[in-house]
Amino acid sequence: QSVLTQPPSASGTPGQRVIISCSGSSSNIGTNTVNWYRQIPGTAPKLLIYSNNQRPSGVPDRFSGSKSGTSASLAISGLQSEDEADYYCAAWDDSLNGVVFGGGTKLTVL
């Protein structure tokens, strides 16, 4: 059972907009920044969004992040087949004194 809650799966057709949610609590998302990582199975995760809504260089602006209260979301617009991957949210937890992850969301492009 992950500390942060994500839907296990999400899907969309090419060109659509998909939103992946991440729910936490006051000790993690409510107090600290949220990051999103993308992982293609069998490879290392990559940073997709940091500090709630910032994109590292090289990440297309089709990807955006937001945070409100104890929840965060990742939006992917103009869905492409290469967006198929697992997506994880993460944040520091002040009560656990460590980083907590969501369980991951498997995105399928239909």
Partner 1 sequence: QVQLVESGGSVVQPGGSLRLSCAASGFSFSTYGIHWVRQAPGKGLEWVAFIRSGGTKKYYADSVRGRFTISREDSKNTLHLQMNSLRAEDTAVYHCARGRVVAPTEFDYWGQGTQVTVSS
Which residues are at the interface with partner 1 (CB under 8 A)? 2, 32-33, 35, 37, 39, 43-47, 50-51, 56, 86, 88, 90-92, 96-104
Of 72 and 91, nearer to partner 1 (C-beta) is 91
Within 8 A by CB and 6+ apart from 60, the residues are none
Minimum Å gap between C-beta 39 and partner 1 is 8
Minimum Å gap between C-beta 15 and partner 1 is 28
Contact criterion met (CB below 8 Å) for 77 and 13 = no
Minimum Å gap between C-beta 28 and partner 1 is 11
Helix (H, G, I), strand (E, B) or coil at 25: coil
Of 43 and 68, nearer to partner 1 (C-beta) is 43
Contact criterion met (CB below 8 Å) for 22 and 6 = yes
Within 8 A by CB and 6+ apart from 106, the residues are 8, 9, 10, 86
Of 58 and 82, nearer to partner 1 (C-beta) is 58
Minimum Å gap between C-beta 50 and partner 1 is 5
Amino acid identity of residue 94, one-letter, is D
